[in-house]
Structure 1
């Protein structure tokens, strides 16, 4: 935990330092969303993966910062698309600064990330992170197109593997690449599973969490008409037409309560735990269990967030 605390402190300093826009308004938006906090899960995965494999984590630091810029940019864009008004317990940046400025600041942060990769990385690292950004965009489009509809489990995982899993995969792959590993694609697949688990827990918390801990209203995804794993896991026990009407009308209180009652949240945590266990087994097989602390602790923490 001491190692992770040090890394979070280091990341916070570097996130502000590298942002460095010439236009003050971009800095204002960037500082606002960066200062609002966050788990920094993705860049820490890069740092700890590199360290576990015998690399110098400081060598991957600018690339880890780039990964966090990509994540933050996606949040800026997501809040505009979703019309969100809360993020991490305070007003979302689009409410404070307006949609136009947030979209353009997100664009700047994507570009800054790629600049960092062009300066501190290599062609392969640029390929990895660019592919992740393309996957993220396609995942968001797939999700947007499914709003108000019931989707099956395969479609759900197709969405979250792109919108969330891809950047987790890139985080570990880049850490492995900087450590000199040629099997970085194996680490991408491990990261993808961790990203799956992370999104599954997020989707469970949308049903069972609290606004104070989530930093946004509980049930916000459901109210937007998004069909996620807690609902998918119990859909056979519900009336399809009633569910569709709720998703499309935003009247979801009864549906949220019914999904919890039927065990949808419990099933979602169980699936998240399975993904984490699979990821750890693969990691142990490649690296060895004795070499992956505190990376192991970070991965386990994904499923230990507040229920």
Structure 2
């Protein structure tokens, strides 16, 4: 395989995912809801798209609603994280908190989060909407646990619990969206696999801080 091919394939896949999310964004705008940018790496909708069988941008509507819900919840968590951490930049740009103030960041994060629940409801799957809501709840619990542990060393059990909440839950919800919406009995197993994938992803990200 020639050098650069994997990166090109990933960029192409990310572009297709952004295209699939775009109609969801337009419907939100028409309903007067926040306008998503579908920026960043889009890791969660990307893995969810792959697990769902790579639906086309104009097909698999319920899957795209679910993946958009996950991405909006993730974006909301970033806005709130930036407030908690006092971060001045995100993805090379000033954070909302730095540019427009803490109140604006909190309100925008809340707006994105409530919109994510509306999208989850629009999938028509009570099972997935419940899984998603619980995933968001455990993500918040992970954030709270991390805040309580700030400034002291963590043992493996504590670190694992925090990361599974912070990074694993939403990735698991994205991965399980396609299987659960089509009634695949293995969806819960896929969710658990996604949680573990999120753990590994966060571990690698944390290790890069020391490289």
Shorter-normalised TM range:
0.7 to 0.9
Shift of 1:50: 1.2
Question: Contact 2:80–2:106 at 8 Å: present in 1 too?
Answer: yes
Partner residue, 1:89: 92
- In the alignment, structure 1 residue 163 sits paired with structure 2 residue 169: no
Q: Let me know the Cα RMSD of the aligned residues.
A: 2.3
TM-score by length of 2: 0.85
Give the match's secondary structure for 2:209.
helix
Cα pair 1:160 1:196 within 8 Å, conserved: yes
Partner Cα distance (2:24, 2:75) in 1: 11
Matched-pair contact (CA < 8 Å) for 1:135–1:162: yes
Structure 1 segments of 4 or more deviating over 3 A? Answer: 56-59
Confirm whether residue 4 of structure 1 aligns to residue 13 of structure 2: yes
Matching of residue 173 in structure 1 with residue 182 in structure 2:
no
| In 2: Cα distance, 1:75 partner to 1:14 partner | 23
Q: Does residue 206 of structure 2 align to residue 203 of structure 1?
A: yes
The 1:21/1:102 distance shift into structure 2, 3 A limit, reads farther
Q: Which has the larger radius of gyration?
A: 1
Q: Do the aligned residues in 2 keep the contact of 1:47 with 1:57 (CA within 8 Å)?
A: no
**2 CA distance for matches of 1:92 and 1:15?**
24
SS in 1 for 2:52: helix
1:142–1:21 Cα change, 3 Å: farther
Q: How many residues align?
A: 199
Matched, 1:77 2:80: yes
> Structure 1 residues 95, 21: CA separation in 2 closer, same or farther (over 3 Å shift)?
farther
Return the offset for 1:7.
Answer: 2.1
Distance 1:38 1:72, change over 3 A: same
The answer to whether the 8 Å contact 1:11/1:65 transfers is no
**Kept in 1: contact 2:14–2:41 (CA 8 A):** no
Instruction: Give the TM-score of the pair, scaled to structure 1.
Output: 0.60
The superposition leaves residues 50-103 of structure 1 with CA deviations (integer Å, 9 ceiling, x where unpaired) of 1179xx644301111111000000000110111111100111111111111111
Would you say 1:188 and 2:197 are equivalent positions? Answer: no
